[in-house]
Structures are given as structure tokens and as C-alpha cells.
Structure 1
């Protein structure tokens, strides 16, 4: 396919590669998280991550006088939900409604296996949940969700703005193709959220995320929206090391810089635009009550209090394993060092 007219946008390519039923990466029957998968998450590292968040959730409920309801979007295999609910029960907090939104068939089965006796309600999408619940009151939580949403890719050339498209060469290999940027939505997004780019700079534009956030914030009648993810502020996007953008893949715990390699077989991700997320929330009446690195957030919210003394000499004892997990979340260059936490609260909450 050599004709440029047959090229598709990067967002269309990512949608196909990640979300095509049975063929897309997130829809396939394969291990994705952990040692036998392609990447790790903070919730997969240890149950202490969810234990910290259980206490954070409780404080938010109390401060905002909210119904005790958590909706986790992109709930994965249910590990985070399990650790939150275990800590919630151990602390004797009031009954909690926990809703897991997850589209992956394999992850959905794991969620149902973990909670075959309850107390988690599952939906395969926010749209499915909206169909039975016209509005939401409580806490919306998403860990490593926004970075997996499809993005368009643009580049500023000397002659003007170009869009990086995906096509196929004469040998049937996927290839990138530059075309003059004509999508007015992309141009408007750049003007609003980024401003002028440097000559030669490539950057990802998250229209899908922006539209999704608009609908999400509009659905929350009262409560807090919490995102844990990796990304950059508007100013940080101008750093020299980001001139080539951030879109890449993860395959068997290896970073793959070519996003066209292993289509459907590897995770695709890009860093999110934090200022855009904040701006979308503010438009809908959500103020940013907290924005900080995950390491400092966990420390400030009691992670070290979970450390336990032990007389056991067995390095593989449960206590030693838990203590190592706690330290692994806050050590320099740990997974937490790459993540940020954004808590947005609805203005006018009780």
C-alpha cells in the first residue's frame, strides 16, 4: 500500500492494535501484567499500594461527605480492588460499594474469580455503567489508564505542521508517513493545550482522552476523580529529551521505541498531558486538590507505617516480603518515581 491516501491516523492504528476484539493487545488471552507479562504496575508489586489507597479513599469520603462508593476504571485483574477491600475490612470502615470497570475478557474473568462471592460489581465499560446509572456520586479511580488511550501524532516541520500517519510499504511492512496536518480538531487542541512547537518537535495529541474526560466529568454529580499515571506538564513537554515524543511499546518487559513493531502483541503507551487533564476537570468544576509524585504521595499517606518488625531469619517470610515491597515503591528509580498522582474534587461538594 504505497498510496498516501490509504494511510490511517496513529489513533486509528492504536485503536486497532490495542482494542480490536480477540486480536487487539488488551483483548487477547494472554498474561499482560507481572513477571510473565509485558510490564509491571504499582498494584501488582504488592498489596501495600492498595492498603495506602484504602485509607486515602476513606479520608476523601469523610472530608467530602460522600457515599461510600469507589469506581475503579481499568481495573485490570482485580489485584488493586482486592488489596483495597482487604484493608477496608481490616480497618472496620463502613460498607463500601466497589465497582470495577474492565474491558479485557481475560482480566474480567480474573476479577470474577477473585470476587465470586462479591462484593465487587463489574462493567465492561463506562458506557455500560452509565446505561444503568445516569450519574455517579463517590470516588472515580484510575491507575495507568489514560496513558493507554489512542493518540494522534504531529510534527512541526519548517514548512508547517505535519501529521504522522501509518501506512504499508510495497513489501507489506508498516511504515510512518507524513502528511500536511489538516485536522482542525488537532490544530485547536495544540493551540489550547500546548502552544507553539519547536521546529522538528514530535508530540502526541490525546483527542480521545480529552473527549473521554469531558463525558466522564459530566457524569460525576458529586465526588472526586483520581488519576495515577505518568506524564508531563506543558512546560516539561518542551524539554530537549522529549522532542521526539513519548509513544512507545512494551514487550516482555522491554521498551520498544518503534510503535509499529509487534502490532497487537505489545502494549502501546504515551505520556499524558497533565495540564490538559487539569484543564478539562476545571471546566467541569473539579479543582486539583493534589498533584505530586507518587513516591512522596505514598510517604505522606502512611506507606512506612505499614512496615513490620520481624524476628524471622527467613528472607522469604511474608513480613520480609511485605517490607521489601514497601521499600521498592519508594526507592530511587523505583516504579513510583515515574508516576504522578492527581486528585480532583468537585467544587461545591458538601
Structure 2
């Protein structure tokens, strides 16, 4: 049983409202929804979903802390990694960030790129949440110079017109609505969400459609051994289409993704027979993804082999794949730490900086659980992956 305190009365009312909305969708659909649709509503239902409503998600007061909130050194290393690609992309280069979070990454990345004399002509943030967009805007208005702020814009959708530059996403792919599948007697089934006799959410399995069945068959054919009967997990059926959509009109440029996950062989291990799905609330992991719709993040680990397939399929060349620790260390983490320590006010501030580095790089923290993967077309991102190459695992 969870030891987390109960949400406030207002939060419980909010969650109950979203629960009713999802129940109505289930009834209207004939008694069940594919899990991916449940996840989409729980996270993104307008005004009610976890990422659409007004509660704090990021930082110590929220439900989880991402790398940009951990330390400004994270964004400084990403800026170092992508600076050559921005230079090669030319005078009108765009930096496109998917999902701007609290705005911490945009702030520190722009400052780091300014220090390297490699500012993009435009810094675009594709943020579907109106609430998060407003918080990002307020943060950047308060902390950036007018010169830097003038380069920032918010998008309602991908850049459709031709553009050159860099697309970056940190902890975005894990929040894409995932399909859940089960294997039974050689048949692929799709996990749905139905209602039990008391109106509570419950799992049920239905025959998979052709698209999901093909996706599961594709991944199974590339595993060293067949998955066992009764195996259940996730797959991002829509990932190739999503990737082509978010890249939009990108001609010459680089793609960089950092997230938690595994290469395919490690993701679909026989013993991981219920997948990687979980919820986050108040810095605690909860396996009950039905518990508090709208109040908890729902996430699944990333299959980085699928990311590689999707990006290469979209016409990009593979640049590299490594752990977050290797990526940061290979892109100037020690140099950025020394520079920050030289500017620190006192020993306490210097100690805090070193603690931040530990959080970002230790295997027991974010260093190994998170990985970085990159792709390029007409520019070079290869040098960002010179340390700790893991491409043999993909």
C-alpha cells in the first residue's frame, strides 16, 4: 500500500472529474479503450490531464526532478554537443526544444550558447500545455536579457516550413501514449481499459489490430529468443509517424534525445513480463497507473532501438548512443564544473555543484538509467558521442 499522503480535497475533485471524463469515453467506445487512449486522456485531456492542468510537475515541489532542474551543467553540456551542428546549419539556424518543462533548460542552454558565441537565430519551444507554456514564458522573461528573450518563441505544432538546426528532447518520448500488448497462445492481444462492476478502471485484453500485431511481430523478429506466453509489455506503434511529424521540415540538422530506457534486447527481457509502465507522484513510483488520473505522471521506458529505426527511417544518419554520464563527460562536464566553481560564491555553493554532478552521472542516480542518442543530416553530431559508445547494443 502506498505511504504517500492523500491529495488535497481540490486535487481529489480534479482527479474525480477527469475519471468521469475517461469513464464517459469508455462507455461511448462500447465498454473499453485501448490503453494508449487512456494514457493520452490521463496525461493530455484539455484542462484536466496531468500535463494540461495547473499543478507543479517539475522540481522538489512537484512529482519528479529532471536533469535541467538538477543542474545548469546539463544544459551547458548539451549546448557544447550541438554547437558544431548549429554552426554548420548556418545563419538562420533554429534550436527546437520539444516539451519545455519548467523552462530551466531553455534558460541555461541559451546562456551557454551565448557564451560559446553560437546562439541560434530562433529558439522554438513546442509545448502543448498552455499552463507549462505560461510558466516557461514567465521564467524566461524574468531571467533572460531582452536580446536572448527576443529569440524565443512558442509553437502550437512542428515547424512545417523548411528549416535547419537542432531538435532536442529530454524526457519526452517516455511520455508518449504507449500501446500495451499481451501474448497468448501465439496471438497478439491489445490491453484495453474497461470498467468493473463498481465503475473502477480495469484491464482487459482484446484482439490486436493489424498495426499493433505487425509492430509486435517486428520487435520479436529482432529479439534473440521468442517472448514467452503470457508476456505483457509496451510498444510505441506511432513512433515512426511521430518522429516524422516533429522533425517537420528539418533539412540540414541534428536530432538529440535523452531519456530513460534500454536497447531492445534489454527492454524486452523475458523476466520483465509486465513491461515498464509506472506512475510518478511526489517523487514516488507507483505501479497503479489508474490511482489518480490527472495527478500522477504515467510513463514507460524508451526502446532506443525503436528510436534509431524511426529516425533512420525518417532519413537521418545515426550519430551515436551512450549513457547520460558518458554523454555529459564527453561534452565538457568537467570544464563546465570548473568554470561554475570559479564563479561560485562560497564552499557551500561549490559543494552543491559537485553534488549536482553526482546526481547527473552516478550509476545509482541518472548516469546509467538515462541514455542519449543522436542523428544527423547535412551536419555533424558524431563528436558528441566519442565517449562510452553503446551502439553495439541497439
Q: Same fold (TM over 0.5)?
A: yes
Change (3 A) 1:66 1:277: farther
CA-based RMSD: 2.5
On the 8 A contact 1:61/1:67 being kept in 2, the answer is no
Counterpart pick for 1:346 among 377, 390, 394 = 377
Deviation at 1:240, TM superposition (A): 3.4
Q: Which residue in 2 is equivalent to 1:316?
A: 348
Alignment of 1:49-88 (within 5 A): 49-62=74-87, 67-88=92-113
Deviation at 1:107, TM superposition (A): 1.6
Deviation at 1:202, TM superposition (A): 0.8
Counterpart pick for 2:281 among 251, 255, 259 = 251
Q: Which moved more, 1:185-194 or 1:294-303?
A: 185-194
Runs (5+) with no aligned partner, structure 2: 1-22, 381-394
SS in 1 for 2:100: coil
Q: Is 1:336 aligned to 2:367, yes or no?
A: yes
Distance in 1, matches of 2:379 and 2:326, equals: 28
Distance in 2, matches of 1:312 and 1:12, equals: 47
On the 8 A contact 1:166/1:174 being kept in 2, the answer is yes
Q: Which residue in 1 is equivalent to 2:386?
A: none
Deviation at 1:347, TM superposition (A): 5.7
On the 8 A contact 2:186/2:229 being kept in 1, the answer is no
Q: Which residue in 2 is equivalent to 1:191?
A: 217
Distance in 2, matches of 1:305 and 1:344, equals: 25
Deviation at 1:101, TM superposition (A): 1.3
Deviation at 1:67, TM superposition (A): 4.4
Q: Which moved more, 1:114-123 or 1:334-343?
A: 114-123
Q: Which moved more, 1:19-28 or 1:282-291?
A: 282-291
Deviation at 1:106, TM superposition (A): 2.3
Distance in 2, matches of 1:51 and 1:312, equals: 16
Distance in 2, matches of 1:348 and 1:91, equals: 18
Q: Which moved more, 1:308-317 or 1:290-299?
A: 308-317
Deviation at 1:256, TM superposition (A): 0.9
- What whole-Å deviation, never above 9, does each CA across 1:252-281 have from its counterpart, x for those lacking one? 111111211211110010012211211121
Q: What count of residue pairs does the alignment treat as equivalent?
A: 343
Change (3 A) 1:17 1:217: same
Q: Which moved more, 1:288-297 or 1:54-63?
A: 54-63
Distance in 2, matches of 1:335 and 1:96, equals: 32
Distance in 2, matches of 1:243 and 1:76, equals: 31
Deviation at 1:314, TM superposition (A): 5.4
Distance in 2, matches of 1:322 and 1:56, equals: 20
On the 8 A contact 1:98/1:119 being kept in 2, the answer is no
Alignment of 1:147-162 (within 5 A): 147-158=174-185, 160-162=187-189
Alignment of 1:195-234 (within 5 A): 195=221, 196-217=226-247, 219-234=249-264
Q: Which moved more, 1:307-316 or 1:192-201?
A: 307-316
On the 8 A contact 1:29/1:105 being kept in 2, the answer is no
Counterpart pick for 2:45 among 6, 17, 20 = 20
SS in 1 for 2:198: coil
On the 8 A contact 1:194/1:234 being kept in 2, the answer is no
Change (3 A) 1:347 1:278: farther
Deviation at 1:219, TM superposition (A): 2.6
Q: Which residue in 2 is equivalent to 1:170?
A: 197
- What whole-Å deviation, never above 9, does each CA across 1:233-252 have from its counterpart, x for those lacking one? 22113323422101111011
Deviation at 1:65, TM superposition (A): 5.5
Q: Which residue in 1 is equivalent to 2:5?
A: none
Distance in 1, matches of 2:35 and 2:120, equals: 44
SS in 2 for 1:26: coil
Deviation at 1:114, TM superposition (A): 2.6
Change (3 A) 1:218 1:191: farther
SS in 1 for 2:136: helix
Q: Which residue in 2 is equivalent to 1:139?
A: 166
Taking structure 2 as the reference length, the TM-score comes to 0.80
On the 8 A contact 2:189/2:207 being kept in 1, the answer is yes
On the 8 A contact 1:18/1:24 being kept in 2, the answer is yes
SS in 2 for 1:200: coil
